[in-house]
C-alpha cells in the first residue's frame, strides 16, 4: 500500500501525451499534471508500470479500472504511465477495456521527474528499467503517499484501504 511520505515531489508543469477511452472512442490529448489537478479539483493517483500487456501491468490496470468508481467516490482520478507509445496504449486499452487514462512517456521526462528509472538485474545483466511505483496527490497537488517497487497484484485494493 502507499505509505505517507516526506518526499517533496511536485506535479510537473510540462505537457505529456495521454490517451483514454471515452464512450468507446479513443481520445488523445496533452495533459499538464499540475493544471490537471487544479482544473479537476480532485486528487490524483499516478502510477508507473513497466510495459503494456505484460501480466503484472495488465493486472494492475484492470484492477484500477474495476475500482475506478470507488477511487472517484474518494475524490481521486487515476492515471497510468509507462514508456510505451500512444499506439501501444491504445491497443492495451482496447484489448483489456481499460477506463483509466494512460500517459506515454517515451522520452522518460515524467519518469525522471519522479525518479522511477533504476538499475535492475535481469538474468544477471544490469539494465535500467522502470520501477513499478505509485504516487498520491491531494486536490491541492500535494504529495501525500508514495510507494516504490510495489507488487501489482491487489494493489488497487490495498490503496483503497489506505485512502478510505
| Cα 125 to Cα 162: distance, rounded to the nearest angstrom | 36
Report phi then psi at 128, rounded to 5: -95, 135
For residue 52, which of 11, 98, 21, 16 has the smallest C-alpha distance?
Answer: 98
Q: For residues 16 and 46, is the Cβ–Cβ distance under 8 A? A: no
Report yes or no: 97 and 75 within 8 Å, Cβ to Cβ: no
Does residue 10 contact residue 23 with C-beta atoms inside 8 Å?
Answer: no
Rounded CA-CA distance 15/46 in Å is 15
Q: Which residues are catalytic?
A: 57
**Grid coordinates standing for 17?**
501525451
Taking the CA of residue 86 as centre, how many other CA atoms within 13 Å lie in the half-sphere pointing to its CB?
A: 11
Amino acid at each position: 500500500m502507499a505509505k505517507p511520505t516526506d518526499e517533496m515531489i511536485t506535479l510537473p508543469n510540462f505537457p505529456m501525451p495521454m490517451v483514454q477511452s471515452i464512450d468507446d472512442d479513443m481520445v488523445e490529448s496533452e495533459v499538464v499534471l499540475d493544471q490537471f489537478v487544479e482544473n479537476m479539483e480532485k486528487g490524483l493517483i499516478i502510477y508507473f508500470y513497466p510495459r503494456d500487456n505484460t501480466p503484472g501491468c495488465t493486472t494492475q490496470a484492470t484492477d484500477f479500472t474495476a475500482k475506478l468508481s470507488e477511487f472517484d467516490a474518494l475524490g481521486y482520478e487515476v492515471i497510468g504511465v509507462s514508456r510505451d507509445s500512444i499506439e501501444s496504449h491504445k491497443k492495451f486499452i482496447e484489448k483489456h477495456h481499460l477506463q483509466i487514462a494512460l500517459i506515454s512517456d517515451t522520452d522518460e521526462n515524467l519518469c525522471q521527474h519522479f525518479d522511477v528509472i533504476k538499475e535492475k538485474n535481469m538474468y544477471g545483466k544490469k539494465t535500467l528499467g522502470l520501477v513499478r511505483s505509485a504516487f498520491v496527490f491531494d486536490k491541492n497537488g500535494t504529495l501525500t503517499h508514495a510507494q516504490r517497487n510495489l507488487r501489482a497484484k491487489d494493489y488497487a485494493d490495498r490503496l483503497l484501504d489506505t485512502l478510505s
